Amino acid sequence: MTTEAEDAAIRAAAFEFLAGLARSQGEDWPVVARDALSAGFEFRGRRVPLVGPQGIFKPAVLDFPLTITTAPPVEGKVPPYDDDAGYGGVAYRYRGTDPRHPDNVGLQRLMATGSPLIYLRGLVPGRYVAFWPVYVVGDSPQTLSFNIAIVPPMEVAAAAAYVAEGDMDRREYGLRLLKRRLHQEGFRQRVLRAYHATCAVCRLRHEQLLDAAHILPDGHPRGLAIVPNGLTLCKLHHAAFDSNIIGIRPDLVVEVRRDILNEIDGPMLQHGLQGTHGTRIWVPRLTDRRPAAVNLEERYEGFRAAV
């Protein structure tokens, strides 16, 4: 039987493990590979994994769950559980239909004690965003679901106080941050996956230096966060694309703005920008993953008008 102090120490160690990944990515809530979650971290000589075969997961060192996981969406398949965001939190489905199933009882126990846990939300197969600390704040046997409160990134003690006080404004703000993070990172992961984590312009393959660039921006009627409206670009070429230093023609050929072509500067300008003029971008082999021609055409016309 794990003591209350041991339980708190293990949870704190899990949060610090994720915080280290967040710092390395420059994000409050990091993207973590499933392999890293399965490997977990070491606590006093024992390995503590963060995921298992089931969505509600309790490592052997604990008596109650440490993580809950929503699987990544799979194209063409209906997800087995319809976890969704509601007022003040995320609706997380029971394990099965029996409220007394040990996994469900474990989450009920966390709700009673106000103990925090980790929510892992799948983006694409093998990649998850980790949110913590989150809290079980509601149990609905009628809908076979729990309500999970998402709070903005903060120290666990402060987060627990907000949850205990029932601060719905704070929970709603945390939920908006979660939706924004999932929207942005979900788009990035889908586009990088389609392009095999390769810059379409220069073929750079260091994922930390790659972005998913919108061809048509958010807010445009066709500016959807889908792969055909995206390009994997390194940070240099993303910034150049967004600022109309480079344009991409509908036939996938790169054009560099004329004044940039005539400029004299160092090797980065020469090789990183000027050298891409007239080259053809790399696109996925699958037709439905390639840039939408109508989007490229409209974006290219915007580039020509700007220059």
User: Each residue of 256-289: pLDDT tens digit?
Assistant: 999 999 998 889 999 999 999 999 999 999 999 9
Is the pLDDT confidence value at 305 over 60? yes
Burial of 81 (0-12, 13-18, 19+ CB in 10 A): middle
Contact between 274 and 261 (Cβ < 8 Å): yes
Cα–Cα distances in Å, from 212 out to 233, 257, 260? 6, 22, 24
pLDDT of residue 174: 87
Listed range (31-35, 88-92, 167-171, 176-180) with the worst mean pLDDT:
167-171
Listed residue (196, 206, 195) closest to 231, CA to CA: 195
pLDDT higher than threshold 80 for residue 184: yes
Q: Which residue has the higher pLDDT, 86 or 40?
A: 40
pTM for this prediction: 0.86
Q: Do 101 and 54 form a contact (C-beta atoms < 8 A)?
A: no
Percent of the chain with pLDDT over 90: 81
Supply φ then ψ for residue 77, to 5 degrees.
Answer: -125, 145
Those residues with Cβ within 8 angstroms of residue 228's Cβ, 6 or more apart along the chain or in another chain: 288, 289, 290, 291, 292, 295
**Residue 261: φ, ψ to 5°:** -65, -35
Tell me how far apart the alpha carbons of residues 245 and 50 are, in angstroms, rounded to a whole number: 44
- Pair 51, 37: CB distance under 8 Å: yes
How far apart are the C-alpha atoms of 188 and 183, rounded to whole Å? Answer: 9
Query: Which pLDDT score is estimated for 278?
Result: 97
- Residues 214-250 have pLDDT tens digits of 999 988 999 999 999 999 999 999 999 999 999 999 9
- Residue range 58-65: mean pLDDT, rounded: 97
Backbone torsion region of residue 114, taken as left when φ is above 0, otherwise alpha when ψ lies between -120 and 50, otherwise beta:
left
CB 24 within 8 A of CB 59: no
Report in angstroms the alpha-carbon separations of 147 from 3, 80, 85, 171: 26, 18, 9, 11
Cβ distance 37 to 126 under 8 Å? no
Write out the two tokens for 144.
């076979």
Tokens of 169: 């404004």
Collapsed DSSP state (helix, strand, coil) of residue 146? strand
Amino acid at 42: E
Judged against a pLDDT cut of 80, whether residue 40 lies above it is answered with: yes
Question: Residue 207 — pLDDT band, cuts 50, 70, 90?
Answer: very high
- The rounded percent of the chain whose pLDDT value lies above 70 is 95
pLDDT at 194 over 90: yes
Question: What is the per-residue pLDDT for 87?
Answer: 56
For the chain, how many helices (H) and strands (E)? Answer: 9, 14
- Residue 35, pLDDT above cutoff 80: yes
pLDDT for 64: 97
Mean per-residue pLDDT over the chain, rounded: 92
Burial class (CB in 10 A: 0-12, 13-18, 19+), 251: exposed
What pLDDT, on the 0 to 100 scale, is given for residue 124? Answer: 93
Are the C-beta atoms of residues 200 and 232 closer than 8 Å to each other? yes
The model's pLDDT over 155-172, given as tens digits with 9 standing for 90+, comes to: 788 888 878 777 778 788
Report which secondary-structure segment, H or E, holds 297.
Answer: helix 293-306
99, 109 contact by CB (below 8 A) = no
Query: pLDDT, tens digit, for every residue of 76-116?
Result: 565 444 456 555 689 999 999 999 999 999 999 999 999 99
Which pLDDT score, from 0 to 100, does residue 171 have?
Answer: 80
| Residue listed under structure tokens 């996981």 | 69
Q: What is the pLDDT, as a whole number, of residue 156?
A: 82
Asked whether the beta carbons of 149 and 171 are under 8 A apart, the reply is: yes
Say if residue 183's pLDDT is above 80.
yes
pLDDT band at 31 (very low <50, low <70, confident <90, very high): very high
How far is the first Cα of the chain from the last one, in angstroms, to the nearest whole number? Answer: 69
Residue that the structure tokens 């994720």 belong to: 18
Q: Specify the range with the lowest mean pLDDT, choosing from 8-12, 149-153, 254-258.
A: 149-153
| Predicted local confidence at residue 175, as pLDDT | 86
Average pLDDT of span 186-209: 96
